[in-house]
Amino acid sequence: MTESYYPDVRALHLFSEMADEHFEALMRVSYVQTFPPQIEMITEGDSSDFLHIVLSGAVEQFCTWNGRETIMSTIRPISTFILAATIKDAPYLMSARTLEKSRIALIPSQDVRAVFDADGQFARAIVTELAQCYRSVVKAQKDIKLRTSLERLANYLLRQQRYSGGGQGFDLPIEKRRLALLLGMTPENLSRAFKALQAYGVTVDGAGVHIRDREDLERFAKPSALIDDYSS
């Protein structure tokens, strides 16, 4: 089972087009580690020694400053993270911790940079990936600078509903405490925000969310392709 994850990694956009020999070279120097839940794998400011790939489980990226903490994103399989720091050989800007027991593949950053110099296809894939990451953060920035917390929650629920298949009912993928920090609010405020959305047909029971009438909620949330679309 040692290299059973190769095909999963190879299937990622980032690695699917590169030359076999380069992919093999990267995989040979990489290794897999299994982390228990709630382990801080990366601390912001650390030098970026490895490109990380979440094979199973879940990881969240968070930041702290002056005793405060916020969550930047949660990462689910199969995807990479901290690509930008790896490429720039610069310190991590975000910390990362496991949410669940997780298998993580680690590729030494210097090898990633070496192959990046040698393989044009890989370099191009990295560009696409980075452009995607950049646009995601810009959207997050718009979300937080242009919307109130209630509007952010409403749009989050609409995105989540779509992501989970479009049915009226779905489960929150992370606990509410974390969702609050992800949305830039406190857990108490999130609780009240859920109640406020009852006026637009949203009911919550534990992690379960039910949206009675999507259009009703959309009239309030005013989702925008330029903020809420993950695909573009």
With CB under 8 A as the contact rule, the residue among 1, 2, 7, 145 that binds a copy of itself is: 145
With CB under 7 A as the contact rule, the residue among 207, 212, 213, 222 that binds DNA is: 207
Question: What are the backbone dihedrals phi and psi of residue 164, each rounded to the nearest 5 degrees, phi first?
Answer: -90, 15
Among residues 28 and 192, whose Cβ is nearest to DNA? 192
d(CA 4, CA 103): 12
Name every residue whose Cβ is closer than 8 Å to that of residue 20 and which is 6 or more positions away in sequence. none
Q: Which stretch binds a copy of itself (CB under 8 A): 8-16, 34-42, 146-154, 208-216?
A: 146-154
44 binds, among DNA, a copy of itself, none (CB under 5 to 8 A by kind): a copy of itself
Nearest to 39 by CA among 98, 96, 82: 98
Among residues 114 and 140, whose Cβ is nearest to DNA? 140
d(CA 49, CA 91): 9
With CB under 7 A as the contact rule, the residue among 184, 203, 210, 218 that binds DNA is: 184
With CB under 8 A as the contact rule, the residue among 36, 37, 120, 169 that binds a copy of itself is: 120
**Sign of the alpha-carbon dihedral angle for 154, 156, 161, 162:** positive
With CB under 8 A as the contact rule, the residue among 25, 78, 144, 204 that binds a copy of itself is: 144
Q: Which of residues 132-161 bind DNA (CB under 7 A)?
A: 148-150
d(CA 223, CA 12): 29
Among residues 125 and 209, whose Cβ is nearest to a copy of itself? 125
Are 19 and 119 within 8 A, CB to CB?
A: yes
Number of H helices, E strands in the chain: 11, 11
Tell the smallest beta-carbon distance from residue 150 to DNA (Å): 5
Query: Token pair for residue 108?
Result: 């030494």
Query: Token pair for residue 19?
Result: 């030359």
User: Where on the chain is the footprint of a copy of itself (CB under 8 A)?
Assistant: 44-45, 63-66, 68-70, 72, 83-85, 87-88, 90-91, 93-94, 116-117, 120, 123-124, 126-128, 130-135, 137-142, 144-147, 151, 184, 222, 224-227, 232
